[in-house]
Structure 1
Amino acid sequence: AGGGPQPHYEALLDQRPDLDFIEVHSENFFADGGATLAVLDAGRAAYPVSLHGVGLGLGSATGLDDWHLQRLVRLADRVQPRWVSDHACFARVGSGLHAADLLPIPFTDESLDLLVQHVDRVQQALGRPMLVENISAYVGWSGDTLAEPEFFNALTQRSGCGLLLDVNNLFVNARNAGL
């Protein structure tokens, strides 16, 4: 079992509960220096760390944000996490506008090809496999040609990434699909 330390960093470090790892949102630690990085350094001295991102937009047709990827790589080099993960979604549209949300991608061969390319690029930059998480999709795409399990199986087989299976998101998707 793991835990996300925010906003109780001090209590986590003082009490040292029996955890297998701690998970932090990568983007919260992109700034140079400061108290948050010092706390993360102290946390990683006590526990393995999982970096979980919410902003890469792995399925964004506009491509990956180079600045974001560079910051993620720099953070991963510093922290040496057990896992690095982000979501199978798109977040950027148009000329780089960020939706500030995890938006569902269509389950099509075209989306799969794009996602595999982006995951490959991130993994190459990190020098390690990453985990990709399924998201809740409150509405589906009318053009979906692949079932969600088929889509994610193909993603892991083609890219070599792992799957961070969010069971709640899977349940929500099944309910929204009438299953």
Structure 2
Amino acid sequence: MKTDLAACSEGEAPAPLFPARPVAGLAGTSFKPQHLKAILSGPKPLGFFEVHAENYMGAGGPPHRALEAIRRDHPVSLHGVCMSIGAPQPLDRAHLARFHALVQRYEPAFVSEHLAWSTHDNVYFNDLLPLPYTEMTLMTVCDHIDQVQEAIGRKLLLENPSTYVLYRESTMSETDFIRAVVRRTGCGLLLDVNNVFVSATNHGFSACQYLADFPLAAVGEIHLAGHAQQSDDEDGPLLIDSHDRPVADAVWGLFASVVERAAAIPTLIKWDGDIPEWPRLQAEAAAAQAILDRTGIHARSSHAA
């Protein structure tokens, strides 16, 4: 299916022009409207902000006024959660049109979506569900990414999932699947380090080995977040990608190892539940920035040598 760009743009208001701002080597945070006053009244943060695209798909109102105020002074990353890239049915053309309009309106530094599915027929599931890693799924995912990239006119970053079940019919590893997607579509990647740790713990594989096999050269952005721990039916550890607490020490360690190998990739602190006050979120971003600055310099020196 080819996307009609004219149809996507039909009826749009002229897009405001925002300044291009550098994002390389910076740490940022999720943008929450309750932090707007503190962000605008305090010292200007050095990093960038990320928003969920679906929260800004209305035509105007307070959400857009807040985001425009942020975008005037900061780079923004646009993160989709409802595209259902892995679903077998066609993409929702109306949703894709709204997504495209947001990209035009805010000129984000990054545009991303998830390697997951959340729709079946006319039903929407409020979750990011895992995929079987098969050739048929690969064809579907690549076709959908091609459609999104054609519609928005730029590279999409694809985020690795956090998973709680695996499919017996999978014929390739997750990293092999992701590598094939990048090769076929030319898309980039959003590496969520917390998702790697959550999935590794839940399924009993090595997070370090996963990252060693991950195509870091395609990574344009990194996510860090907190997770909750529960117990499964056999009293084993079950981690939930909850985004409602600080980044765990083990995840910080994995992040530092990634920066050692790939230098200072722009990194975002995700915090979507039990939202703290702005200084607490700033402190998490500052910790990420310190690792980017310290470890990234060492990595660049090592590569030069």
Matched, 1:107 2:101: no
Q: Report the counterpart of residue 105 of structure 2 in structure 1.
A: 78
By how many angstroms is 1:17 displaced?
4.0
Q: Which has the larger radius of gyration?
A: 2
1:8 partner SS: helix
Q: Report the counterpart of residue 177 of structure 2 in structure 1.
A: 151
TM-score by length of structure 1 reads 0.95
| Distance (whole Å) between structure 2 residues aligned to residue 106 and residue 126 of structure 1 | 27
Matched, 1:59 2:98: no
By how many angstroms is 1:127 displaced?
0.2
TM-score by length of structure 2 reads 0.57
Matched, 1:125 2:160: no
| Distance (whole Å) between structure 1 residues aligned to residue 37 and residue 85 of structure 2 | 33
Identity of counterpart residues, as a percentage? 43
| Distance (whole Å) between structure 2 residues aligned to residue 13 and residue 142 of structure 1 | 50
| Distance (whole Å) between structure 2 residues aligned to residue 107 and residue 171 of structure 1 | 19
Q: Residues 122 and 14 from structure 1, CA distance in 2 versus in 1: closer, same or farther, beyond 3 angstroms?
A: same
Q: Residues 175 and 159 from structure 1, CA distance in 2 versus in 1: closer, same or farther, beyond 3 angstroms?
A: same
By how many angstroms is 1:155 displaced?
0.8
By how many angstroms is 1:165 displaced?
0.8
2:137 partner SS: helix
| Distance (whole Å) between structure 1 residues aligned to residue 142 and residue 134 of structure 2 | 12
By how many angstroms is 1:175 displaced?
2.0
Q: Residues 174 and 78 from structure 1, CA distance in 2 versus in 1: closer, same or farther, beyond 3 angstroms?
A: same
Query: Are the equivalent residues in 2 in contact too, given 1:91–1:99 (CA < 8 A)?
Result: yes
| Distance (whole Å) between structure 2 residues aligned to residue 129 and residue 138 of structure 1 | 29
Query: Are the equivalent residues in 2 in contact too, given 1:26–1:51 (CA < 8 A)?
Result: yes
RMSD: 1.1
Q: Could you tell me which amino acid in structure 2 is paired with residue 84 of structure 1?
A: V
Structure 2: stretches of 5+ with no match in the other structure: 1-26, 206-305
1:3 partner SS: strand
